[in-house]
Amino acid sequence: MRAYWAIVSARFRTLLQYRAAAAAGFGTQCFWGLIRIMVLQAFYRATTAAQPMSLPQVVDYIWLGQAMFAMLPWSIDFEVAAMIRSGTVAYELLRPLDLYSLWFSRAAAARTAPTVLRAVPMFIAAGLFFGLRPPASTAAGAAWLLTMLGALLLACAISALLTISLLWTISGEGVVQLMLNCVVIFSGMVIPLPLFPDWAQSTLNFLPFRGILDVPARIYSGNLPAGEVAFLFAHQLLWAAAFIVAGRCMLARGMRRLVVQGG
Amino acid sequence: MLDGLRLYLRYMGVSVRSQMQYPASFVMLSLGAFLFTGVEFVGIWALLHRFGSVEGWTLPEIALLYGMVQVAFSISDATSRGFDTFASMIKSGDFDRLLLRPRSTALQLAGQELTLRRVGRFTVGLLVLLWAASHLDIAWSSAKLSLLAASILGGACLFFGLIVLQATLAFWTTESLEIVNTVTYGGVETAQYPLTIYRPWFRKFFTAVIPLACVNYFPALAILERPAPFALPWVSPLVGVAFLAMTLQVWRLGIRRYCSTGS
Amino acid sequence: MPQILVENLTKTFRIAIRQPGLWGAFRGLLARRYRTVRALDGISFSIEAGELVGYIGPNGAGKSTTVKVLAGILVPDSGRCEVLGRVPWRERVANVRQVGAVFGQRTQLWWDLPAIESFELLRDIYRVPADSYARTRAELIEMLDLAPFLDVPVRQLSLGQRMRCDLAASLLHSPTLLYLDEPTIGLDAVSKLAVRDFIRRLSRERGVTVLLTTHDMDDIEALCTRVIVISQGQILSDGTLEALRARVTPERWLIVDLLEPNDALTDPDAMEIRRDGSRVVLRFDPRVVPAAELISRITARHAVRDLFVENPPIEEIIARLYREEQT
């Protein structure tokens, strides 16, 4: 447990060293958020028809997306990737640890530290100046926190799976790129999922990626009723479990393959 | 001048041959970029599918804006890698090597790499442009075509100039220079929609400070035969070239500082 | 007319202080603090055409700062500097056209392509005329024995092979001056000898002026007739290696291999520095007792398998020089 805290605090310290980066990253996200909101405001201005999301809900959605930006499985674990590429990953088998859990925790550390560092100022700024509202109700707020946990599990499971896929391809970029694109669009980072055509909604609701951003954001703003949290959380957990199982299988097979090949 | 151009072409040949040593990686990364950019356009398409139009602009017209900026940006993104990675070059001390050669450092940096995988974004931009051209209800004259080409080149110069500015900042601070990334990628997003949807201060920024509107929005107005706020949309692409020239002067100031403080 | 003329160069740097710990990092976010470093504190020397000069000093002494000033990459705070009749930082391009440089730790070759392609690109960068390029390239390939691996991508070359290619690359434009920084670092013994041999030939047969910055004292002893020692921005010594030795200490070392490992070895005029089993290292002053006399005294009293006389290693000399300066 102490080791975990050491990883997280080391990450904090590194992040603080780059003072300009800390400010600029935040500035970037405010900028992007504003652009997206201006665009969507223009769209809503042009129409009087009823939409699956109200404009204030869209605004909440976008700012939550920016705040939770670092949560997404944007990249693979570079250190582990280097280990795999050089072959030293075989030494990991000598450790008295469950390798999958180790890599999963690393993914979790890589997600929580930057997210907290980014989310707090983003919530404050967006809440004060850019139209982010508090949760739709206390039930919504509680449900939101629960689904955030689900989002974290899901994101880590996907990230771990991507890293493990490197055991199978020499240039892991292929699978990672494909998965990244799926994540980005189907989680709602590009535009809120409800704004996609109606005929796409059932597919989007089935896919795992909505669990990373879309579900928590819509519960927060009340677009999805807090009462549905049980179903939504289960959706997140089931997909996370699927990714975890797939990840463990691939890891076991991959390591065995590595050892057999004498790599 | 001609000699410099010849050297630049030689540099490009070397860079292409270097990258062709890793064909699988090139294909994968290009495909990834293609999908990533394509996914963005899917988002735009979805919004226009749902809302019909925005500020009186329909999908083909938006597609024109989108295609122009993506092609312009991908050209600059492909040719500016030397400047883009300049911060790490200063840190490693490799910039001294460039100063030890009897050539302009800007030429050497420009020649460092022609990043082939940008062809992914380039292709998406080009395809969207072609689709827009075929679906737009306008008469394509040679004047309009040359304006289109000039705007794209002016846009490429503008984006290149932004990267030169980012590199110049590295002479003063070795910390992360995300702030320019903010403006660059923010600019690409902004240029996908007509300028009129944004708030006044935003519009002013992208017209006067970073003259993005001059290389994208105003020429598009001329091509689409929409009324322009001032009389010279045909000349505005030159602003992009002027911007690049200005940034290269600032670059020279940066070198002078480097030589007097030793980084 | 010296090729390189340096007079009273000074240069001071400001370096930001990194504060340790989490709290320090927070403070660093708000206000930066600096310290000043005097990299060059009034150095002067001149180098004539064709000299092979060693430039040595501890880390941070000001060696690379000096070379950067000579190359025109760095502007000094005060002082005079002329290279081949020009002020380097005012006429950078004209200056570097006649200068070659090799940095031991970093290559200037393009990583993924064969060295020969780097050569051709450099030919275009330096605008070397085709005929002189062909001639120079052929000579360098022959002198450095590059032919076997010219078509191999640079990333696959061994360190020795890469260094030889880097040396060739730096000379394609037939520069008058060559700055070498740690050219033999990390090389195996055979490659070191090859590189040293090449540098010697460059200097003797081609008359290239060479400024060699290195920590490797074997390089210095093998190549340099003249040595400049710099420490903390000041020149401590400038002259031949023998003069340096004599100035610091005239002492010499006598290394004796005894037949009996624990034989106690004493002599009124010699002091034991080190004992390694049956090998004893003694220190003596040849002005007090000539080597021959000491040797005969020792061999008379002890059973000796082998012995030889050496100068103290140059590192020892330099170390004493620094210590002297600090007191």
Residue B79 pLDDT class (50, 70, 90 cuts): very high
Is C26 within 8 Å of A16 when comparing Cβ atoms?
Answer: yes
Is B181 within 8 Å of A28 when comparing Cβ atoms?
Answer: yes
Integer angstrom CA distances of residue A252 from A78, A79, A168, B219, C72: 20, 19, 12, 57, 58
- DSSP assignments along B37-74, one per residue: HHHHHHHHHHHHHHH--BTTB-HHHHHHHHHHHHHHHH
Give residue A9's pLDDT.
54
Is C113 within 8 Å of B259 when comparing Cβ atoms?
Answer: no
Encode pLDDT of C91-123 as tens digits.
Answer: 999 999 999 999 988 899 998 889 999 999 999
The phi, psi pair for C254, rounded to 5°, reads -115, 120
Instruction: Chain C: give the shortest CA distance to residue A8, in Å.
Output: 12
Q: Give the span between the Cα atoms of A164 and B100, in whole angstroms.
A: 44
Q: Which residue in chain A is spatially nearest to C23 when comparing CA positions?
A: A13
Mutate to test the interface with B, among C73, C81, C91, C97 (most CBs of B within 10 A): C73
Q: Does A16 touch chain C (CB under 8 A)?
A: yes
Give residue A92's pLDDT.
73
DSSP single-letter state for residue A197: -
Per-residue pLDDT at A194 exceeds 70: yes
Better-predicted residue by pLDDT, B102 or B260? B102
Mean pLDDT over all residues of chain A? 82
Mutate to test the interface with B, among C92, C105, C133, C151 (most CBs of B within 10 A): C92
Is C25 within 8 Å of A9 when comparing Cβ atoms?
Answer: no
Which of C96, C110, C117 lies nearest to residue B100, judging by beta carbons? Answer: C96
Q: What is the mean pLDDT of residues C308-323?
A: 79
Instruction: Chain B: give the shortest CA distance to residue C100, in Å.
Output: 8
Q: Does A19 touch chain C (CB under 8 A)?
A: yes
Predicted-assembly ipTM surpassing the 0.90 threshold: no
Per-residue pLDDT at B137 exceeds 50: yes
Is B261 within 8 Å of C126 when comparing Cβ atoms?
Answer: no
Residue type, C190: V
Q: Closest Cα partner for A195 from B45, B189, B47, B44?
A: B47
Mean pLDDT over all residues of chain B? 90
Give residue C19's pLDDT.
67
Q: Which residues face C272 on adjacent strands?
A: C282
A241-245, B130-134, C21-25: lowest mean pLDDT where?
A: C21-25
Is C29 within 8 Å of A16 when comparing Cβ atoms?
Answer: yes
Q: What is the mean pLDDT of residues C155-174?
A: 94
Q: Give the span between the Cα atoms of A82 and A73, in whole angstroms.
A: 18
Q: Does B14 touch chain C (CB under 8 A)?
A: yes
Size of interface A-B (CB pairs under 8 A): 116
Residue B5 pLDDT class (50, 70, 90 cuts): very high
Encode pLDDT of A25-61 as tens digits.
Answer: 788 888 888 999 999 999 998 887 888 889 999 999 9
CA angle B133, B134, B140 (to 5 degrees): 55
Encode pLDDT of A68-102 as tens digits.
Answer: 888 887 766 677 777 777 777 777 777 767 788 88
Which of C74, C92, C121 lies nearest to residue B14, judging by beta carbons? Answer: C121
Encode pLDDT of C199-227 as tens digits.
Answer: 999 999 999 999 999 888 888 889 998 99
Q: Give the span between the Cα atoms of A92 and A83, in whole angstroms.
A: 9
Contact residues on chain B for C127, CB-CB shorter than 8 A: 3, 102
* Interface chains of chain B (3 or more CB pairs under 8 Å): A, C
Size of interface B-C (CB pairs under 8 A): 69
Q: Does B248 touch chain C (CB under 8 A)?
A: no
Give residue A20's pLDDT.
44
Is A38 within 8 Å of B176 when comparing Cβ atoms?
Answer: no
Per-residue pLDDT at A200 exceeds 60: yes
Portion of chain C with pLDDT greater than 90, in percent: 53
Contact residues on chain A for B25, CB-CB shorter than 8 A: 171, 173
Q: What is the mean pLDDT of residues A112-141?
A: 86
Is A43 within 8 Å of B190 when comparing Cβ atoms?
Answer: no
Give residue C107's pLDDT.
92
Chain C neighbours among B 154-213 (CB < 8 Å)?
A: none
Q: Which residue in chain C is spatially nearest to A23 when comparing CA positions?
A: C29
* Residue/partner pairs of B14-20 with CB below 8 Å, 24 or more apart: B14/C110, B14/C113, B14/C117, B14/C121, B15/B111, B15/B112, B15/B113, B15/B114, B16/B114, B16/B116, B17/C112, B17/C113, B17/C117, B18/C110, B18/C111, B18/C112, B18/C113, B19/B115, B19/B116, B19/C112
The phi, psi pair for C99, rounded to 5°, reads -120, 140
Mutate to test the interface with C, among A5, A12, A17 (most CBs of C within 10 A): A17
Instruction: Chain C: give the shortest CA distance to residue B30, in Å.
Output: 20
Q: What is the mean pLDDT of residues C163-173?
A: 95
Q: Give the span between the Cα atoms of A120 and A67, in whole angstroms.
A: 8
Instruction: Chain C: give the shortest CA distance to residue A144, in Å.
Output: 32
Size of interface A-C (CB pairs under 8 A): 16
Q: Does A241 touch chain B (CB under 8 A)?
A: no
Give residue C26's pLDDT.
63
Encode pLDDT of C176-204 as tens digits.
Answer: 999 999 999 889 888 899 999 999 999 99
Secondary structure class of A104 (helix, strand, coil): helix
Question: What ranges do the domains of chain A cover?
Answer: 2-261
Portion of chain C with pLDDT greater than 70, in percent: 95
Cβ atoms of B128 and B92 within 8 Å: the answer is no
Residue C147 pLDDT class (50, 70, 90 cuts): very high
Contact residues on chain A for B184, CB-CB shorter than 8 A: none
Q: Per CATH, which fold does C47-246 belong to? A: Rossmann fold (3.40.50)
Instruction: Chain B: give the shortest CA distance to residue C71, in Å.
Output: 7
The count of other CB atoms within 10 Å of the CB of residue A114 is 17
Q: What is the mean pLDDT of residues B208-233?
A: 86
Mutate to test the interface with B, among A40, A41, A43, A178 (most CBs of B within 10 A): A43
Instruction: Chain C: give the shortest CA distance to residue A117, in Å.
Output: 13
Residue B234 pLDDT class (50, 70, 90 cuts): confident
Per-residue pLDDT at A4 exceeds 60: no
Per-residue pLDDT at A263 exceeds 50: no
Is B10 within 8 Å of C121 when comparing Cβ atoms?
Answer: yes
Give residue C133's pLDDT.
96
Encode pLDDT of C257-302 as tens digits.
Answer: 888 877 777 788 888 888 888 888 888 888 888 888 888 988 888 8
Give residue A16's pLDDT.
47
Question: What ranges do the domains of chain C cover?
Answer: 47-246, 250-311
List the structure tokens of A23.
């400010």
Is C22 within 8 Å of A19 when comparing Cβ atoms?
Answer: no
Instruction: Chain B: give the shortest CA distance to residue C288, in Å.
Output: 50
Residue A172 pLDDT class (50, 70, 90 cuts): low
Per-residue pLDDT at B192 exceeds 90: yes
Q: What is the mean pLDDT of residues B205-232?
A: 87
Q: Give the span between the Cα atoms of A263 and B108, in whole angstroms.
A: 41
Per-residue pLDDT at A231 exceeds 80: yes
Q: What is the mean pLDDT of residues B114-136?
A: 94
Q: Does B93 touch chain C (CB under 8 A)?
A: yes
Q: Does C28 touch chain A (CB under 8 A)?
A: yes
Q: Give the span between the Cα atoms of B188 and B72, in whole angstroms.
A: 9
Q: What is the mean pLDDT of residues A153-160?
A: 91
Encode pLDDT of C2-42 as tens digits.
Answer: 999 999 999 998 877 766 666 666 666 667 777 888 899 99
A85-94, B193-202, C301-310: lowest mean pLDDT where?
A: A85-94
Q: Closest Cα partner for B52 from A137, A44, A236, A115?
A: A44
Q: Give the span between the Cα atoms of B195 and C325, in whole angstroms.
A: 69
Give residue B129's pLDDT.
96
Give residue A18's pLDDT.
46
A108-122, A223-237, B199-213, C223-237: lowest mean pLDDT where?
A: A108-122
* Interface chains of chain A (3 or more CB pairs under 8 Å): B, C
- Give chain C's contact residues with B (Cβ, < 8 Å): 11, 13-14, 39, 65, 68, 71-75, 89, 92-94, 96-97, 99, 101, 103, 106, 108, 110-113, 117, 121, 124-127, 153
CATH of domain C250-311: 3.30.70
Q: Does A227 touch chain B (CB under 8 A)?
A: no
